[in-house]
Amino acid sequence: MFTGIITDIGRVASLTKSPDGMTARIDTRYPVDSIEIGCSICCSGCCLTVVKFGPGDTGSWFDIDISNESLAMTTLGTWEEGSPVNLERAVTLSMELGGHLVTGHVDGLARIAGLEKDGDSVRFDIEAPVDLAGFIARKGSVTLDGVSLTVNGVEGTRFSINLIPHTLDATIWGKKAVGDQVNLEVDLIARYVARLFEYQTDRAGS
């Protein structure tokens, strides 16, 4: 489980592709003694398992195995050597919950439909997949490329978010452009509320 608060921007050091998927090596500033085999690290919104790690020049590196399913359903398939990656370690019970509950299980791909300066911040207009748009509500939470964000407005399948300078600097969002795809995870509570309503409707009709 994660909170959507990015704690490092890693970089893809190498990619090894095979018929079974892909293994990526990520350089990070995380101390090598803080990483363990089997621990979960959220990489641009995708919860992935460390299978190997070691010391790096400025911190450490870790390897993650990525399945063909994840490559097809997320932006991980577009990674290249040198690609920046939003990183977050799994939450512990003693940590401050600064964002919202994030699973790292990507629901689908959204697209940046527009962006414009709004004072010191930048407003992004995001186009959500039709089947996920109903889970997004004004002033609700959404996770985009692993970042916990507040929805400012919703119109149809499109919603807007504002990113402050700190978020633009501390994540890979400062490099985003119109047309870019981003990993979307809808709010966990919204998903369960929708499922409960669906279940009760089905029972009432049976």
Q: Which of 112, 98, 118, 66 is nearest to 170 (CA)?
A: 98
Please count the other Cβ atoms lying within 10 Å of the Cβ belonging to residue 27: 20
User: Is domain 8-89 in CATH 2.40.30.20, yes or no?
Assistant: yes
In contact, 108 and 129? CB cutoff 8 Å: yes
DSSP assignment letter at 171: S
204: β partners: none
Domain spans, the chain: 8-89, 108-195
Signed CA dihedral, 115, 150, 11, 31: sign only? positive
Question: pLDDT truncated to tens, each residue of the chain (206 aa)?
Answer: 899 999 999 999 999 999 999 999 999 999 999 999 999 999 999 999 999 999 998 899 999 999 999 999 999 999 999 999 999 999 887 777 777 889 999 999 999 999 999 999 999 999 999 999 999 999 999 999 999 999 999 999 999 999 999 999 999 999 999 999 999 999 988 888 888 888 888 888 76
**The CATH fold of domain 108-195:** Elongation Factor Tu (Ef-tu); domain 3 (2.40.30)
